[in-house]
């Protein structure tokens, strides 16, 4: 049996079709980086311990943290964040029970004394007689000319010059365990009872000013400090959480890797994962074959949530791009004899995927007259939607009433669809899914599109991979919806991956293959798949057997594959769902 192997890759220059205005990603990104390098985390002696409820103190690139040795003797460790060197502070003032930065100096609280110290030399500048609260930790913060101390569910207010108690402010939140300074007018209230939610409180206004959810464990928040305008540090040896976070509005983003921000702080992408991906294709001629064309669906190029670089294509392939940015690789196999076998890597690229978040304008209304030419395909009814059916109409009316607020409609849509229990389905239309109240990702998508198109909001279906990061293969296993928002573009509505109920936000780092107005890819026949015979070659379906494996590996690591067999044939791992004649059903 004659065996033919194609394994050569060449860079391939191509000219893509010009995408229409609504399909382009017109986003210009800027990077926000951490001030310090966190690639190598700090290490502490095993004999040293840190108390959970004691705070850290940040000062001029250094972290102060109180530790205890095996004899329970307290000392203050000064960690230089730039040099990663630790020194002991020669402190003889007794156990510290609270500290804060104040007007350029540091304040240490001990029993009966408040110490004001120089932040460079740690020399004592002055001492104040201080009301004794015992040896337990009591957080203090300094705002303007007053010092605030947490005492149960109230703040004690002290004069900065005299140390005298001025007043007491009851806190509007129960079980407050920690306070720390946010800026010159606000403080954070922290409690393990609230999970990773942090309340913002203004002592001057004596009212809450909002809340944050930090993407860390609640215990790590006890070692939180502000280091700049809406920039924060966590330095916690207990949970081994070290790093910086940046705040925008009511959102907090990690800076472990650079945060990318675009369009006036409307869209953010962060926490990227980078993989080398390969499309490995193998075929067998069951009979004599004429020239045969194969279609491969490639990941979309440079969307807000994924970026492709260093792409290479087989020299026998051609790239086609449609007006929505969907990419198709066409491979031409010359005529072959029965029994011929071919194996080829048709595509290779460096893929970076991000967690993504859009901030929606709360005052944006649903456009009354969307451009019919641009959005006609994304507003039309279809068999899988039935947007005017009584069931869909009733659900739409109960969710939205007469609301014309875009954010309100998107939020209520996603909250409802996320509440539909997951159950592998059979691609039933939206009315049936609403009635039975369960379904797979395809059916969740149908309901989303039916509700939104009925309100005049353009929506489209996304073919994608919902990752299992430990797997070494990428498959087409998932669907969600994107909607058009004026000023932002196409944003995700993902009800089955975290955080589920927030429109424009997904942390799943999908691999997006195609965005379609309906479930059928115009160039892929016979079900949901990434590879198929071209239309002119479909009649050869019983004469050729083929399979595709899309492998992924970490950057810097060699792609792991099977050992080579005789005559250079590489027996690829079979993905049975992509064998000819089998449909890959997407739940």
Lowest mean pLDDT among 18-32, 60-74, 343-357: 18-32
CATH topology classification for 363-516: C8orf32 fold (3.10.620)
Please check the confidence at residue 531 and state whether its pLDDT lies above 70. Answer: yes
Lowest mean pLDDT among 143-157, 221-235, 495-509, 547-561: 547-561
Q: State the average pLDDT for the chain.
A: 88
- Residue-wise pLDDT tens digits, 90-128: 999 999 999 999 999 999 999 999 999 999 999 999 999
Confidence at residue 380, expressed as pLDDT on a 0 to 100 scale: 95
- Residue-wise pLDDT tens digits, 401-424: 999 999 999 999 999 999 999 998
Confidence at residue 188, expressed as pLDDT on a 0 to 100 scale: 96
Cβ-contact 211, 250 below 8 angstroms: yes
Question: Cα–Cα–Cα angle for 159, 165, 169, nearest 5°?
Answer: 100
CATH number, span 34-257: 2.120.10.30
Instruction: Give the pLDDT band of residue 370 (cuts 50, 70, 90).
Output: low
Nearest to 14 by CA among 274, 328, 334, 447: 328
Domain ranges of the chain: 9-25+269-356+523-578, 34-257, 363-516
Question: 289 phi and psi, to 5 degrees?
Answer: -115, 140
- The H or E element that residue 231 is part of is strand 231-236
Predicted TM-score (pTM) of the model is: 0.85
- Residue-wise pLDDT tens digits, 38-80: 988 888 777 789 999 999 999 999 999 999 988 888 899 999 9
**Cis previous bond, 104, omega within 30:** no
Confidence at residue 556, expressed as pLDDT on a 0 to 100 scale: 58
Question: 107 phi and psi, to 5 degrees?
Answer: -115, 125
Cβ-contact 401, 564 below 8 angstroms: no
DSSP classification of residue 22: G
Confidence at residue 26, expressed as pLDDT on a 0 to 100 scale: 54
């Amino acid at each position: 049996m004659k065996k033919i192997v194609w394994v050569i890759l060449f860079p391939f220059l191509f000219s893509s079709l010009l995408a229409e205005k609504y399909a382009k990603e017109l986003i210009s990104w800027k990077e926000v980086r951490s001030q310090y390098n966190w690639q190598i985390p700090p290490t502490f002696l095993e004999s040293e311990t840190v108390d959970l409820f004691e705070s850290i103190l940040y000062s001029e690139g250094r972290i102060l943290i109180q530790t205890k040795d095996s004899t329970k003797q307290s000392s203050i460790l000064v960690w230089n964040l730039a040099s990663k060197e630790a020194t002991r502070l020669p402190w003889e003032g007794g156990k510290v029970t609270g500290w804060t930065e104040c007007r350029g100096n540091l304040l240490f609280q001990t029993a009966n004394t408040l110490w004001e110290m120089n932040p460079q030399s740690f020399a004592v500048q002055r001492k104040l007689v201080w009301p004794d609260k015992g040896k337990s930790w009591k957080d203090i913060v300094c705002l303007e000319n007053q010092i605030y101390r947490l005492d149960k569910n109230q703040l004690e207010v002290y004069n900065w010059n005299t140390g005298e108690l001025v007043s007491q402010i009851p806190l509007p939140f129960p079980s407050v365990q920690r306070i720390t300074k946010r800026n010159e007018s606000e403080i954070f209230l922290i409690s393990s009872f609230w999970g990773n939610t942090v309340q913002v409180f203004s002592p001057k206004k004596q009212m809450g000013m909002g809340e944050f959810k930090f993407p860390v464990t609640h215990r790590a928040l006890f070692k939180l400090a502000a280091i700049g305008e809406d920039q924060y540090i966590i330095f916690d040896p207990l949970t081994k959480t070290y790093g910086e976070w940046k705040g925008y509005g009511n959102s907090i983003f990690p800076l472990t890797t650079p945060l990318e921000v675009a369009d006036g702080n409307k869209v953010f992408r962060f926490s990227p994962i980078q993989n080398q991906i390969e499309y490995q294709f193998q075929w067998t001629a069951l009979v004599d074959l004429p020239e045969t064309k194969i279609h491969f669906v490639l990941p979309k190029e440079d969307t807000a949530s994924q970026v492709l670089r260093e792409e290479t294509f087989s020299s026998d392939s051609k790239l086609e791009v449609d007006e929505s940015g969907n990419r198709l690789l066409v491979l031409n196999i010359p005529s072959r004899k029965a029994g011929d076998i071919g194996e080829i890597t048709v595509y290779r690229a460096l893929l970076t995927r991000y967690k993504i978040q859009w901030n929606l304008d709360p005052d944006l209304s649903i456009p009354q007259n969307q451009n019919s030419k641009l959005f006609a395909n994304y507003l039309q009814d279809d068999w899988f939607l039935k947007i005017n059916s009584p069931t869909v109409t009733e659900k739409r009316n109960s969710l939205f009433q007469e609301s014309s607020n875009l954010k309100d409609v998107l939020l209520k849509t996603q909250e409802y669809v996320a509440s539909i229990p997951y159950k592998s389905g059979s691609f039933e239309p939206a009315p049936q899914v609403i009635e039975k109240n369960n379904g797979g990702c395809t059916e969740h998508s149908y309901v989303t599109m039916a509700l939104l198109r009925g309100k005049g909001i353009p929506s489209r279906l996304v073919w994608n991979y919902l990752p299992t990061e430990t797997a070494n293969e990428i498959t087409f296993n998932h669907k969600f919806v994107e909607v058009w928002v004026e000023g932002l573009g196409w944003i995700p509505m993902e009800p089955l991956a975290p955080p589920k109920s927030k429109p424009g936000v997904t942390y799943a780092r999908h691999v997006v293959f195609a965005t379609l107005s309906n479930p059928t890819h115009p160039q892929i026949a016979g079900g949901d798949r990434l590879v198929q015979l071209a239309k002119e070659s479909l009649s050869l379906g019983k004469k050729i057997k083929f399979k595709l494996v899309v492998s992924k590996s970490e950057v810097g690591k060699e792609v792991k594959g099977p050992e080579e067999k005789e005559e250079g044939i590489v027996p690829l791992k079979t993905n049975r769902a992509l064998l000819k004649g089998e449909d890959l059903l997407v739940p």
